[in-house]
Chains A and B, each alone.
Chain A
Amino acid sequence: MARILLVEPDVSQALVYNRSLQQAGHEVVAARTAAKAVTLLDTNAIDVILLELNLAVHNGIELLYEVRSYRDWNDIGVIIHTTVRPKQLHAPALERLGVTQVLYKPTASLSDLHRAVDSVLQSVS
């Protein structure tokens, strides 16, 4: 269905989300850091980025700025899937960075995640 870049620093969580997305028919490539994510974007045709903001060294917002600085990557859909509280995020700034879905991990179920992915894929296509 889609190729998803999963940017998730926690190995166990990455395994769970990876499995869940693959069961839904998507192809998943995973990165634990922003640097690795950029490398994978360079070498794979990614449709959607599923992004945790709390990353080591460079955080998810910095990664987003870098991604949006490349014209070729401007159309990639982005879902923020994070432990950062939604009220701590500046929604207008995220919109300007092309983020259309924000999920708060403690309360967003796997079904919510799949719905968000489907919604972003529809808007991107």
Chain B
Amino acid sequence: MMSKIEQKDYAKNIDAQTFAAVVENLKTALITVLRANELSPQQGGEQAIIAQATAKSLALLDNYLLGLQLNNADKTLLLQPVSLSASLVEVAHQLSQAAHAEHCDIELDVAGKYGPVLAHPGGLTAALVSLGNSFIAAHSQQERPKRMVIKLATYTTAHGIRAGMFTDIDGLTSDTFKRAKRLLGKARSPLNHFSTQEEAGLFVADALLQSMSSGLTASRHHKLPGLAATFTASPQLELV
């Protein structure tokens, strides 16, 4: 006979499993749309629009499922020593094409010796790429005359090693980000420059990072606002 707490956990797990199954089905459907679109050229340029929208949604669902998996798994099995600087270099490489297409420059600020942190390498990269894509898309919706810079940085703070993305975008403060998290799925977000899809990318990144760090918080680096996660360096890993 299950206790009330056990019943609640069981129901929560079933909900999560059902949702994960639904998301997998959505992924399958989107893959079909994406490939059928490749086979059947549309007139008027719709093929590129369908491809872009479908690919973005697929990436979002993929990252969401990875976040679900990481948050539900035994993390001691999945976390490994990871160099944040190396991860940011990899993320910058993955974002370079999308950034170039939207007239954004990716800059790296990873100089300095930072010890490894315990993280899931795939999850960390997926989270930061998801975050970067949201920032790039938010830039494309602003009316600015010059190229925008998105800075990928890692630096030490009193609480640990912080890794994140920073850019000249209005309205990205601690308060708006917290309110956006509370309002997610319920009401219009206070994050002005992020559409629903880009905003979802931010929160999927946050969910992925929750499994290995403090999650995303609004932060500033060299006067640029942005979002970053704080990791604890392990003294034991530094000795190895």
Tell me if A35 is interfacial: C-beta within 8 Å of chain B: no
Contact at A109–B31, with CB atoms within 8 Å? no
Tell me if B181 is interfacial: C-beta within 8 Å of chain A: no
Cβ-closest 6 pairs across A and B: A12-B32, A106-B58, A16-B35, A110-B38, A16-B36, A13-B32
B36-62: which residues lie under 8 A (CB-CB) from chain A?
36, 38-39, 55, 58-59, 62
In the complex, the number of residue pairs spanning A and B with C-beta atoms less than 8 Å apart equals: 40
User: What's the Cα separation between A68 and B102 when bound, in Å?
Assistant: 48
Tell me if B160 is interfacial: C-beta within 8 Å of chain A: no
CB closest residue in chain A, given B31: A105
Question: From DSSP, what is the main secondary structure of chain A's interface residues?
Answer: helix
Residues A85 and B122 in contact in the complex (CB < 8 Å), given A16-B39, A106-B59, A110-B38: yes
Q: Measured between C-beta atoms, what is the minimum distance from A83 to chain B in Å?
A: 7
Tell me if B27 is interfacial: C-beta within 8 Å of chain A: yes
Q: Which interface residue of B28, B62, B66 has the most chain A CB atoms within 10 A?
A: B28
Residues of A that sit less than 8 Å from B by CB? 10, 12-13, 16-17, 19-20, 23, 83, 85, 87, 105-106, 109-110
One digit per residue, 1 when the CB lies within 8 angstroms of any chain A CB and 0 when it does not, for chain B 1-37 equals: 0000000000000000000000010011111101110
Q: Measured between C-beta atoms, what is the minimum distance from A6 to chain B in Å?
A: 13
User: What's the Cα separation between A3 and B233 when bound, in Å?
Assistant: 54
CB closest residue in chain A, given B29: A12
Contact at B28–A87, with CB atoms within 8 Å? no
One digit per residue, 1 when the CB lies within 8 angstroms of any chain A CB and 0 when it does not, for chain B 50-83 equals: 0000010011001000100000000000000000
What are 10 A-to-B residue pairs whose CB atoms are below 8 Å?
A12-B29, A12-B32, A13-B28, A17-B35, A19-B39, A23-B39, A105-B31, A106-B27, A106-B31, A110-B38
Q: Measured between C-beta atoms, what is the minimum distance from A60 to chain B in Å?
A: 15
Q: Measured between C-beta atoms, what is the minimum distance from A75 to chain B in Å?
A: 29
User: What's the Cα separation between A109 and B32 when bound, in Å?
Assistant: 11
Contact at B31–A13, with CB atoms within 8 Å? yes
Q: What residues of A have a CB within 8 angstroms of the CB of B34 in the complex?
A: 106
Q: What residues of B have a CB within 8 angstroms of the CB of A83 in the complex?
A: 24, 27-28, 31
Q: Measured between C-beta atoms, what is the minimum distance from A4 to chain B in Å?
A: 16
Contact at B27–A10, with CB atoms within 8 Å? no
Q: Measured between C-beta atoms, what is the minimum distance from A96 to chain B in Å?
A: 24
Q: Measured between C-beta atoms, what is the minimum distance from A39 to chain B in Å?
A: 25
CB closest residue in chain B, given A113: B35
Residues A106 and B35 in contact in the complex (CB < 8 Å), given A13-B28, A85-B122, A87-B122: no
Contact at A20–B122, with CB atoms within 8 Å? no
Q: Measured between C-beta atoms, what is the minimum distance from B70 to chain A in Å?
A: 12
CB closest residue in chain B, given A54: B24
Q: What residues of A have a CB within 8 angstroms of the CB of B59 in the complex?
A: 106
CB closest residue in chain A, given B62: A106
User: What's the Cα separation between A106 and B122 when bound, in Å?
Assistant: 16
User: What's the Cα separation between A67 and B111 when bound, in Å?
Assistant: 51
User: What's the Cα separation between A17 and B29 when bound, in Å?
Assistant: 14
Q: Measured between C-beta atoms, what is the minimum distance from B52 to chain A in Å?
A: 13
User: What's the Cα separation between A13 and B29 when bound, in Å?
Assistant: 8
Contact at B35–A20, with CB atoms within 8 Å? yes
